[in-house]
């Protein structure tokens, strides 16, 4: 049976399990083939804690786009120290970044959605493909509550672009539930969250949100789009 055909059975099993139990199940069903991509956001910090607290054999990795906030990089180091684990870091290809910047300018992503998506592809999508290659399960910190686009996602999905099963263990968690878990377990998090930055990506493309705004409103705020970079596009 192919990976894609396993989805229904997996979803049935995972729907009756907690996030921590689901992660443990995936690690046992797909040994050495489960990876977790962390952007160091609050959701991802919860998942890192769940993996580390159970000592699960799941490789944690992150994408350093070259335009991250200093606070994000500092949190990466704190997380490694706290959980005594190494978070593997993937970087964009130097030649691709040089061509991108020379073609559209250092901040050319402000000029059009096309330019912005080109930047996201070079700095995030291509490195992600390298990180996922050869694996069978991709764990993410997506929550349905984050945006309308993510509200239609399932706990386990087939990611056609990367030919991999995507598992979203926190899909049905509320924001308040996540924050309570962070405080209960004293999980380190980005101090920018306390300044109104809910969803944190690259520094030039992220701002704090205003009261009542969607959680993703602070990402690429100058454009009218689904607020996705291409990693989780439907």
Catalytic residues: 229
The answer to whether the Cα torsion of 16, 57, 55, 166 is positive or negative is: negative
Contact between 151 and 137 under an 8 Å Cβ cutoff? The reply is no
In whole angstroms, give the CA distance from residue 96 to residue 217. 28
In whole angstroms, give the CA distance from residue 109 to residue 224. 14
The contacts of residue 119 (CB under 8 Å, 6+ apart) are 100, 104, 108, 109
């Amino acid at each position: 049976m192919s990976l894609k055909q396993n989805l229904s059975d997996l979803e049935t099993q995972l729907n009756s399990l907690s996030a921590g139990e689901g992660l443990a199940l995936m690690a046992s069903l797909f040994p050495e083939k489960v990876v977790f991509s962390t952007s160091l956001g609050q959701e991802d910090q919860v998942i890192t804690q769940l993996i580390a607290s159970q000592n699960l054999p799941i490789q944690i990795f992150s994408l350093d786009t070259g335009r991250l906030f200093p606070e994000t990089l500092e949190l990466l180091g704190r997380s490694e120290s706290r959980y005594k684990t190494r978070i593997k870091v993937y970087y964009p290809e130097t030649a691709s970044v040089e061509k991108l910047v020379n073609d559209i300018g250092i901040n050319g992503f402000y000029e059009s959605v096309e330019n912005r998506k080109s930047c996201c592809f070079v700095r995030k999508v291509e490195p992600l493909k390298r990180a996922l290659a050869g694996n069978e399960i991709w764990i993410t910190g997506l929550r349905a509550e984050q945006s309308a686009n993510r509200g239609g996602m399932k706990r386990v999905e087939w990611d056609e672009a990367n030919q991999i099963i995507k598992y979203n263990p926190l899909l049905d968690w509320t924001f308040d539930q996540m924050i309570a878990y962070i405080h209960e377990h004293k999980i380190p998090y980005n101090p920018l969250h306390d300044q109104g930055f809910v969803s944190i990506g690259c520094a030039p493309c992220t701002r704090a949100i205003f009261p009542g705004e969607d959680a993703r409103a602070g990402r690429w705020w100058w454009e009218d789009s689904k607020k996705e970079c291409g990693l989780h596009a439907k």
